[in-house]
Structure 1
C-alpha cells in the first residue's frame, strides 16, 4: 500500500530527533505503527518516552526527521491540527477544562469532533444524539453520576478517567496513552484498562502506550519498543523483547548473565 493510500491509523516516525543544546533527547527514531495493534513504549526514567510522544503529538518541534500520519507528512502541523488529522493524545498530567462540569468537558470534545458550533440558534437540545453519546462515554468511564461536578473538584483518579473519556469523544485514528493509570487507586485502574482493551478489540485503531507497569504491558501489548537515552534499543514481540539481555540490564536493572556461569 502506498503512502498516499495509507490505511487510516497508520503512523510513522522517520529519523525523528530532538536536541536540547548539546543533549540529544530523541535520536533518529524510525518506527511504523499499524492499525489494529497496541505498541507499548518502555524504557528507564529519562529514556525519552514522553519526549517521543511530545514530538509525535506536536507539543515539541523536531530538530530533524518526520511524522507521517495516514500517508500525510504532519511534521509542520501544530498539536491542534494533528488532533483534527486523527491523532489523539491523553497526557500524563490531566488537561481538562477545570471550571466546566464533567458533562460540559465531554460535550465540548464531541463538538470539536463533529465541528458543531453553539450559539443562540444552535442549542444543545437540537443535538440530542450528542447528549446521548456524551452520557454513554461518561458511563463507560464510570463518571455518569458525576456529570454535573466541576472537573477541578474531581479526585485525581476521576480526572484521569475523564481525560480518557475526552479522548474517546474525539474518536481519533491513533490513541496515545502516556501512563494512563498513573496516580490511580487499585480499584480505579481496571476501568481504564478495560477501555483500552475494548479499543484494542476493535482492531481498527492504532494504540501507543507508555507504561511502567510490566504486568500491564505483558497483557496488552502486541509489540514493545524500548528507548534508552533517546535511542531505539529494541523492537518486537513482548516476551522476546522483555527477555533480551540488553533490556534486562538497561530497563529492568538486572545484571547480564555471564556465559558459562
Structure 2
C-alpha cells in the first residue's frame, strides 16, 4: 500500500484530567473518503482539530506526506496541503463573496498584489474565483457581502474557499449542519465530485448515517476518545461496538487498538 497522505500515531490530548482523544493511530490514503463517526462527546471534532492544527497534541504525532507536522500550527499545515471546513463558518464577513474566494486563489498561488498594479491585471484570479463559485451555485451572488448570505450559502462559500486552495486533504466537519433540505444535495454533490477525482484524501465528520452510507469508502468510530472500529461502512454500521456506542454504552471489547470489523 502506498504511503499515507495523512497519518496520526498515538495522537492524544488531555484537558486537565479528561482525555478527549486517547492514543489514536490511523492512516488516510489518497483517493479515499473516510467518515469519522461516534456519539456526541466522542472526540471527533477534537481529533479533526488536532490533525488540522487548531489544537496542540499532548502527545503523539501527525504526519503529512510522511513528514512530521506535529509542531506546525493551522496556517503551516494549510500551506502543506490540509483544507478544513468547520461546523461554524469561517469567512471574511465584510468582503464580497468573490473577494473571499479570490483571496484563497491568491494565497494558493503565493502571490501578492502590488499596490501599484491595477486590479484589472489580476483578472485571472477573479476568473478562477468565479469558476469555484459556479461550482457551488453561488455565481449569481458574487458581489454580495459574505455577512449577508443565509447560513446555507455561507457553508457553500466556505467549501468554495477550500476548493480554491486545492489542498491534498479535504476535511469536512458536519458540512450539512444547519442547511435546509433543499441545500444539502449541493454540498453532497460537491463532495461526490471531489471523491470522483480520485486524487484527494477526504475526511468527513457526520452524524447523518444516510450521508455516511452514500459517501464513505471507510468508517472509523471514536468512543470516549478511543478508536474502537475501523472498516467498510456496511460492516462497521452493523457491528455491535457501533450499536453500543450510539446507545451510549461502553463497548464490550476493550480498545487495545481498533476493532477491525
Same fold (TM over 0.5): yes
Write out per-residue CA displacement over residues 214-249 of structure 1, whole angstroms, 9 at most, x where no aligned residue.
001001000000000000010000000000011112
Report how many aligned residue pairs link the two structures: 251
User: Following TM superposition, by how much is the alpha carbon of 1:252 offset from its aligned partner in structure 2, in angstroms?
Assistant: 5.1
User: Following TM superposition, by how much is the alpha carbon of 1:253 offset from its aligned partner in structure 2, in angstroms?
Assistant: 5.7
Say whether 1:52 aligns with 2:43.
Answer: no
User: Following TM superposition, by how much is the alpha carbon of 1:130 offset from its aligned partner in structure 2, in angstroms?
Assistant: 2.0
Q: 1:149-160 residue pairs with structure 2 within 5 A? A: 149-160=144-155
- Indicate the residue corresponding to 1:213 in structure 2: 208
Q: CA RMSD in A?
A: 1.7
Say whether 1:93 aligns with 2:88.
Answer: yes
- Indicate the residue corresponding to 1:244 in structure 2: 239
Gaps of 5+ in 2: 252-261
Gaps of 5+ in 1: 257-261
Which SS does the other structure have where 1:13 is aligned? strand
Please give the alpha-carbon distance, in whole angstroms, between the structure 2 residues aligned to 1:61 and 1:228. Answer: 20
Which SS does the other structure have where 1:127 is aligned? helix
Say whether 1:135 aligns with 2:125.
Answer: no
Change (3 A) 1:65 1:253: closer
- Indicate the residue corresponding to 1:22 in structure 2: 17
- Indicate the residue corresponding to 1:259 in structure 2: none
Q: 1:1-261 residue pairs with structure 2 within 5 A? A: 6=3, 10-251=5-246
User: Following TM superposition, by how much is the alpha carbon of 1:196 offset from its aligned partner in structure 2, in angstroms?
Assistant: 0.2
Please give the alpha-carbon distance, in whole angstroms, between the structure 2 residues aligned to 1:122 and 1:252. Answer: 60
User: Following TM superposition, by how much is the alpha carbon of 1:251 offset from its aligned partner in structure 2, in angstroms?
Assistant: 1.7
Please give the alpha-carbon distance, in whole angstroms, between the structure 2 residues aligned to 1:210 and 1:230. Answer: 14
Would you say the 8 A contact 1:100–1:150 is kept in 2?
yes
Which SS does the other structure have where 1:55 is aligned? helix
Please give the alpha-carbon distance, in whole angstroms, between the structure 2 residues aligned to 1:167 and 1:89. Answer: 7
User: What is the TM-score of this pair, normalised by structure 2?
Assistant: 0.93
Write out per-residue CA displacement over residues 138-187 of structure 1, whole angstroms, 9 at most, x where no aligned residue.
11111111111111111111100000000000010000000000000000
Would you say the 8 A contact 1:11–1:69 is kept in 2?
yes
User: Following TM superposition, by how much is the alpha carbon of 1:126 offset from its aligned partner in structure 2, in angstroms?
Assistant: 1.8
Which SS does the other structure have where 1:41 is aligned? strand
